[in-house]
Amino acid sequence: MSKTVQRLETKESIDERTQQVLRGIIEGYITSNEPVGSRSLSKSLEMGLSPATIRNIMSDLSDMGFLMQLHTSAGRIPTDKAYRFYVDQVVVANQLTRKLQKRIQEATQEGGTNQVEDLLISTTRLLAGLTQFVCLTSSPRVETSILRRIEFIRLSSQQILVVLVTRNGQVRNKIIAATEDLSQDFLNTVSSFLNDQFHNRNLHEIRQQILESMVEDKERYDRLLAQAVRLGKKAFEVEDAPELYIEGQHNLIFSERFRNLNSSRGLMDAFEHKSMIMNLLDSTVEADGIQIFIGIENELESLQDCTMVKAQYSDQSNVLGTIGVIGPTNMDYQTVIPVVDFTARILSQTITQQSSSCD
């Protein structure tokens, strides 16, 4: 049933006037959230067309698959195909108001402790608040993060705390069990050995190399090296599951805009399966810029009544993660798109600043 629709095409040539009518219907539906009928459109368009003429045009648009009716005597509403047309052909990259820009910038700046986690959470919350939709953010994959510093702290004879700092300011803690009692001094030697060895390498590479070291001739190891490898192995076994931040779920239920959604329940349930949502969020075709998935363009069935607008964020060199919102298909694309875009940019910028404050 759920065959994957990559993207709806809108190549067909539609004559100018018809386009204008279509645009009118789409924007009417976006603002009113009500099916739009020929009479009211005739007035609001101010093109001097009678309702009857509009009806003819509407009929054509229905045949072309741009419009549909919920029931015979209701006005028409745009199909996913219409929104795709609208986004591709009509929406121009318009500027955000200075006011809004400032608001985003300020919100991103604040938040005392300058750790990435906090930044991501507050940004996610911000975007959920601004759009009144659900906002999702994937945290940087630890896999590809670059090691800035690793440190071992002896907690007791059986427990060692690993502190792992990545270049972009993520800090991970993990308590590992010690197989023998190691002194703090010894642990310091191990950390500085690992720091020297793996400085500025990404965690994936590091893990690889440690595994290789382990199969090498064990005879050749001195105690330091042996322990370094052993501790390193445990330390870098960071949970592969990158985190996903979700904010604004309550909008799904309380926001008026979501009201003609079939199953907000289904969506809520989907959000429980974080890994699935992660994949969806991070699966990205184009390298940069905004990506928009309208209705059935979404692979996930419970998302097929919604539009997802997302953008990647990155530091100076790498793509780190994705931030996006999920809203009704008749969202106000004209403002949502630039808001997501700008937020992602600011996020990138802030993270870049943080990670460049290394030595």
Partner DNA sequence: ATTAGCACTATCAGCTGATGAGTGCTAATA
Partner DNA sequence: TATTAGCACTCATCAGCTGATAGTGCTAAT
Interface contacts to DNA, rule CB under 7 A: 35-40, 48-53, 55-56, 58-59, 62, 69, 71-76
Question: Residue from 6, 72, 73, 173 that binds its own copies (CB under 8 A)?
Answer: 173
155 binds its own copies (CB under 8 A): yes
Q: Whose Cβ is closer to its own copies: residue 55's or residue 174's?
A: 174
316 binds its own copies (CB under 8 A): no
180 binds its own copies (CB under 8 A): no
Q: How far is the CB of 359 from its own copies (least distance, A)?
A: 4
Question: Residue from 114, 208, 275, 284 that binds its own copies (CB under 8 A)?
Answer: 114
Q: Whose Cβ is closer to DNA: residue 250's or residue 259's?
A: 259
Question: Residue from 52, 93, 175, 211 that binds its own copies (CB under 8 A)?
Answer: 175
Residues with Cβ < 8 Å from 170, sequence gap 6 or more?
115, 116, 117, 139, 140, 142, 145
Q: Whose Cβ is closer to DNA: residue 27's or residue 315's?
A: 27
Q: How far is the CB of 132 from its own copies (least distance, A)?
A: 14
Produce one character per residue of 290-315: b if its CB has 16 or more CB atoms within 10 Å, e if not: bbbbbbbbbbbebbbbbbbbbbbbbb
95 binds its own copies (CB under 8 A): no
Q: Whose Cβ is closer to DNA: residue 24's or residue 169's?
A: 24
The C-alpha atoms of residue 113 and residue 311 are separated, in whole angstroms, by 25
Is residue 198 packed enough to be buried (19+ CB in 10 Å), middle (13-18) or exposed (0-12)? buried
Compute how many other C-beta atoms are within 10 angstroms of the C-beta atom of residue 359: 3
Residues with Cβ < 8 Å from 192, sequence gap 6 or more?
none
Question: Residue from 32, 59, 94, 159 that binds its own copies (CB under 8 A)?
Answer: 159
Q: How far is the CB of 268 from its own copies (least distance, A)?
A: 5
Q: How far is the CB of 120 from its own copies (least distance, A)?
A: 15
Question: Residue from 81, 141, 148, 257 that binds its own copies (CB under 8 A)?
Answer: 148
| Residue 58 interacts with which of its own copies, DNA, none, CB < 5 to 8 Å by class | DNA
The C-alpha atoms of residue 111 and residue 108 are separated, in whole angstroms, by 8
Binding string, 244-273, against its own copies, x = CB under 8 A? -----xx--xx----------x--x-----
Q: Whose Cβ is closer to its own copies: residue 45's or residue 178's?
A: 178
Q: How far is the CB of 42 from DNA (least distance, A)?
A: 8
Q: Whose Cβ is closer to its own copies: residue 5's or residue 165's?
A: 165
Q: How far is the CB of 212 from its own copies (least distance, A)?
A: 25
CA distance to 16, 101, 259, 334, per residue, from 138 (Å): 41, 23, 27, 24
Q: Whose Cβ is closer to its own copies: residue 17's or residue 250's?
A: 250
CA-based end-to-end distance of the chain: 54
212 binds its own copies (CB under 8 A): no
158 binds its own copies (CB under 8 A): yes
Residues in contact with its own copies by the rule CB under 8 A: 112-115, 148-149, 151, 153, 155-159, 161, 163, 165, 169, 171, 173-175, 188, 239, 249-250, 253-254, 265, 268, 357-359
